[in-house]
Amino acid sequence: MLPSSLPWALPLDPASATPVYVQVAQGLTQRIESGHLRAGSALPAERELAAGLGVSRVTVRQALALLSQQGLLTRRHGSGTFVTPPPRPGELPSRSLGLLSSFSEDVRARGQIPGARVLSFERVRPSPQEAMSLALSPGERVYRLRRVRTADGEPLAVEDSALPAALVGELRPADVQDASLYALLWARALSPARAIRHLRAVNADLTLAPLLGVPVGAALLTTDRVSWLADGRPIEYARAHYRGDRSDFVMELQGGA
């Protein structure tokens, strides 16, 4: 309970056009990037920072929220705020240089153990999106599967898959507990021969964030994939949301311009 002035100060100008919390965030960013605050080390407590900088705790929290959202800081309830360790190198599913591979294969290729936790499994009418992507006839049903995909037990993605019920035949819950859906398809001679994948970036919403263990708003890499059999029939439509901080998709480009 000392005067608790910080070992360092940040130059804050309340009159400036840039908000104080942005100034605090910038100051902290600089101290992190310059190495004055080392990776993994704890920041002063919020109340301490506020007192030391002469601003309210709310303002400090606004700054910390900004940096936490950018992945620069990690906040742990009851424990403290820490400088996020630098990203581990190349960490993602999809070694895919144009090669069709399953999530399980991709994770294994990185030397990690793939896993899956089934959130739901049902046989339902397709959504319009599913019906279109899978070119379903009216009345056809799909198996819809939502899983959290893990690497070494850590959540890496949430994946929603839809398969035409008429094409894949009877599927029971026990069939999809297995980590690899592709292995099951292979066993039924339904291996996809071709796929098209769309990639986008979105912010984690209230549903996905807890499933992936990231804060709401964290950047996610979202993919939509349609897979076809060799004869051209669609066999799977899947939408997956990957943790942005643990994913890195690779594509190889040839010729052209």
Task: Give the binding range for DNA (CB under 7 A) out of 15-23, 137-145, 186-194, 195-203.
Answer: 15-23
The reply on whether position 128 binds DNA by CB under 7 A is no
Q: In angstroms, rounded to a whole number, what is the distance separating the alpha carbons of residues 60 and 74? A: 15
- Judged by CB under 8 A, the chain residues 15 through 44 that form the site for a second copy are 22, 25-26, 29
**Considering only CA atoms, which of 54, 58, 59, 29 is closest in space to residue 43?**
29
Positions in 90-119 near DNA (CB under 7 A): none
Among 42, 97, 124, 187, binds a second copy (CB under 8 A): 97
Measured between alpha carbons, how far is 149 from 157 in angstroms, rounded to an integer?
5
Least Å distance, CB 217 to DNA, is 12
Could you give the C-alpha distances from 136 to 66, 76, 126, 172, 189, in angstroms and in order?
45, 47, 8, 21, 20
* Number of residues in contact with a second copy under rule CB under 8 A: 53
b/e per residue, 151-176, with b = 16+ CB within 10 A? beeebbbbbbbbbbbebbeebeeeeb
* Residue 80 vs residues 30, 77, 183, 206: alpha-carbon distances, Å: 20, 7, 44, 23
Give the x-and-dash track for 63-92 against DNA (CB under 7 A).
Answer: -x----------xxxxxxx-----------
CB of 194 to a second copy, least distance (A): 6
Structure tokens at 253: 């480009």
Q: Which is nearer to a second copy, 140 or 184 (CB)?
A: 184
Q: Please select the residue that binds a second copy; options are 28, 43, 51, 105, rule is CB under 8 A.
A: 105
Strand partners, 117: 148
Residue 132 lies near a second copy (rule: CB under 8 A): no
| Site for a second copy contains 196 (CB under 8 A) | yes
Of 84, 77, 211, the residue nearest 157 (C-alpha): 211
CB of 153 to DNA, least distance (A): 18
* Residue from 56, 70, 177, 207 in contact with DNA (CB under 7 A): 56
Work out which of 57, 95, 108, 110 binds DNA, going by CB under 7 A. Answer: 57
| Pairwise CA distance, residues 57 & 162, whole Å | 47
Which of a second copy, DNA, none does 48 bind, CB closer than 5 to 8 A by kind? DNA
Question: 97 with 250: CB under 8 angstroms?
Answer: yes
Residues 57-76 that bind a second copy (CB under 8 A): 66, 69-71
Contact (Cβ atoms closer than 8 angstroms) between residue 159 and residue 120: no
Q: How many CA atoms lie within 13 Å of 208's alpha carbon, on the beta-carbon side?
A: 23
For a second copy, the binding residue among 12, 46, 80, 249 (CB under 8 A) is: 249
User: Which DSSP category does 42 fall into?
Assistant: B
| Sites of contact with DNA (CB under 7 A) | 14, 17, 19-22, 43, 45-48, 54-59, 61-62, 64, 75-81
